[in-house]
Amino acid sequence: MIKKGFTLLEMLVVIGIIAILVSMGFASYSTVQKKARDAKRQGDLKAAQQVMEQCYSVNSFAYPTISGSPGTITATCPAPNTSITFTLTDPLNTGTYQYTVSTTTTTAYTITADTETSTTDFSVSNQQ
């Protein structure tokens, strides 16, 4: 009589192949997540730049003061335009990746975000 079924070796080969495919998928998924967080950081900085420029135009040609801690920054336009505001929080939200701000005067600023997939950081600065 011939018994029909799989041998232990055949089962181990199939399990090994599945494990390899899952690990490859996990590695590419991790890279995609990092790229998505970097894209969010860049989009957030572009939006913050637009808010800063809007405040500049309605605030006697002066940028608002930016404050915050690593991973989160906030800016609010001075009175009477306090409705012009933004808050940026890093998508990873671990404090590892930071937004840094440089304001030398009320007419200049630079906001920089650390990136996960590139050695160069992304930054935006005043357009005036």
Task: Kindly state whether residue 2 falls inside one of the protein's structural domains.
Answer: no
Q: What is the structure's pLDDT at 96?
A: 59
Task: Kindly state whether residue 3 falls inside one of the protein's structural domains.
Answer: no
Distance CA(45)–CA(73), nearest Å, equals 11
Task: Kindly state whether residue 76 falls inside one of the protein's structural domains.
Answer: yes
**pLDDT tens by residue, 38-90:** 999 899 989 989 988 888 888 888 888 787 777 788 888 887 888 888 888 88
β-pair type (85-89, 99-105):
unpaired
| H/E element, 101 | strand 99-105
| H/E element, 100 | strand 99-105
User: Cβ distance 79 to 68 under 8 Å?
Assistant: no
Task: Kindly state whether residue 65 falls inside one of the protein's structural domains.
Answer: yes
Diameter over CA atoms, the chain: 95
Q: What is the structure's pLDDT at 71?
A: 76
Distance CA(32)–CA(39), nearest Å, equals 10
Average pLDDT over residues 96-117: 74
Task: Kindly state whether residue 39 falls inside one of the protein's structural domains.
Answer: yes
Q: Which domain holds residue 20?
A: 8-125
Number of domains, the chain: 1
Task: Kindly state whether residue 1 falls inside one of the protein's structural domains.
Answer: no
Task: Kindly state whether residue 35 falls inside one of the protein's structural domains.
Answer: yes
Percentage of the chain lying above the pLDDT 90 cut = 19
**pLDDT tens by residue, 11-48:** 999 999 999 999 888 888 888 898 999 999 899 989 98
Distance CA(74)–CA(64), nearest Å, equals 10
